[in-house]
């Protein structure tokens, strides 16, 4: 079965600078699946400002065929189609039951999740993957460093935070992901954005969702903070830093109508999903990347003057 289609990275960027449905690429049009019959979502309950990674919150409709199924502080998203769904991220092991419940509350069956994608190989984003794989039967797709971590239940020394991260339940069925692939399920087309920097195996994802004639490019970049344990120095890993810079340049130049983030607080995401702040902001990805670049430069300067790690 033809599950993954190789495209050039240039093709993945074809939509840059274009807005609205007129700009929809072939893959975007393929994502123009109407949402399922209206489901009465539970009322969004407020999350505490200091909410933990595993604290549950009801699902939210993002746009078109895209749903938030994460926790009060961690992103997890369901992209749906009549031929099966894609789940991106699964928060912590403790959060897995609420992600499953949110999927059902949004009107979808876990058994219809055909692929699980991830951002990066840390407990707060992939700790729940093993449980969601058991419930759905779906394979997980990850870049090599993330795939190794998923299978082991912990990252390795390629991870700047290796000495301080927590273990998580190992994942059985992990498939390799080649940078720049388009992940397909039925009519869904989800572009892979390599996201080296915060970890060695990070991935961002981008897709187009439509409601009638209105289409939005949704970008879910990975975490982009330059932080580490007491041992890792970014200056000792120039290739990693170069890839980090490339990652930020890529995020900054995405056509980006709706920014979704791995940590809810990074973009005030629940307030935007609940209509308290604008959800659509074509400058959001550029600002997200610019803020991260400032953080990376500060980190490198701190390493040079002995203030870090």
Residues lying near Zn ion in the complex (CB under 5 A): 122, 223
Token duo for residue 192: 């892979």
Of 32 and 224, nearer to Zn ion (C-beta) is 224
Q: How far apart are CA 133 and CA 160, in angstroms?
A: 27
Number of residue whose CB is nearest Zn ion: 122
Q: How far apart are CA 5 and CA 186, in angstroms?
A: 12
- Other Cβ atoms within 10 Å of 208 Cβ, number: 28
Sign of the alpha-carbon torsion through 180, 185, 189, 191: negative
Of 195 and 223, nearer to Zn ion (C-beta) is 223
- Other Cβ atoms within 10 Å of 126 Cβ, number: 29
Minimum CB–partner distance for residue 260 and Zn ion (Å): 16
Of 223 and 247, nearer to Zn ion (C-beta) is 223
Minimum CB–partner distance for residue 227 and Zn ion (Å): 8
Of 223 and 250, nearer to Zn ion (C-beta) is 223
Of 159 and 257, nearer to Zn ion (C-beta) is 159
Minimum CB–partner distance for residue 232 and Zn ion (Å): 13
User: How far does Cα 136 stand from its chain's mean position?
Assistant: 19
Minimum CB–partner distance for residue 222 and Zn ion (Å): 8
Q: For residues 51-80, b (16+ Cβ closer than 10 Å) or e, as one string?
A: bebbbbbbbbebbbbbbbbbbbbbbbbbbb
User: How far does Cα 234 stand from its chain's mean position?
Assistant: 23
Minimum CB–partner distance for residue 41 and Zn ion (Å): 29
**219 in Cβ contact with 230 (< 8 Å):** no
Of 214 and 231, nearer to Zn ion (C-beta) is 231
Minimum CB–partner distance for residue 164 and Zn ion (Å): 10
């Amino acid at each position: 079965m033809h599950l993954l289609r190789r495209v050039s990275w240039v093709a993945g960027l074809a939509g840059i600078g274009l807005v609205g449905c007129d700009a929809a690429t072939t893959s975007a049009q393929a994502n123009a699946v109407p949402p399922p019959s209206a489901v009465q979502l539970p009322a969004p309950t407020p999350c505490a400002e200091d909410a933990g990674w595993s604290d549950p919150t009801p699902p939210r409709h993002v746009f078109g065929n895209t749903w938030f199924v994460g926790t009060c502080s961690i992103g997890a998203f369901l992209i749906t189609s009549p031929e099966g769904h894609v789940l991106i991220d699964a928060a912590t092991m403790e959060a897995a039951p609420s992600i499953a419940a949110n999927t059902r509350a949004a009107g979808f069956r876990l058994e219809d999740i055909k692929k699980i994608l991830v951002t990066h190989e840390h407990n707060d984003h992939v700790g729940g993957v093993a449980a969601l794989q058991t419930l759905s039967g779906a394979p997980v797709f990850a870049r090599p460093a993330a795939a190794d971590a998923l299978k082991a239940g912990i990252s390795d020394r390629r991870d700047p935070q290796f000495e301080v991260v927590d273990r998580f339940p190992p994942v059985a069925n992990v498939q390799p992901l080649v940078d720049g692939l388009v992940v397909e399920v039925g009519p869904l087309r989800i572009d892979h954005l390599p996201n080296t920097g915060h970890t060695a195996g990070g991935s961002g994802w981008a897709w187009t969702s439509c409601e009638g004639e209105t289409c939005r490019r949704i970008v879910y970049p990975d975490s982009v903070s330059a932080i580490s344990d007491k041992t890792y120095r970014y200056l000792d890993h120039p290739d990693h830093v170069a890839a980090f810079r490339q990652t930020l340049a890529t995020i900054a130049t995405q056509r980006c109508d709706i920014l979704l983030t791995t940590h809810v607080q990074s973009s005030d995401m629940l307030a935007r999903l609940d209509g308290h702040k604008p959800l659509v902001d074509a400058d959001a990805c550029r600002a997200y990347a610019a803020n991260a670049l400032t953080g990376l430069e500060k980190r490198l300067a701190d390493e040079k003057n002995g203030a870090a790690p």
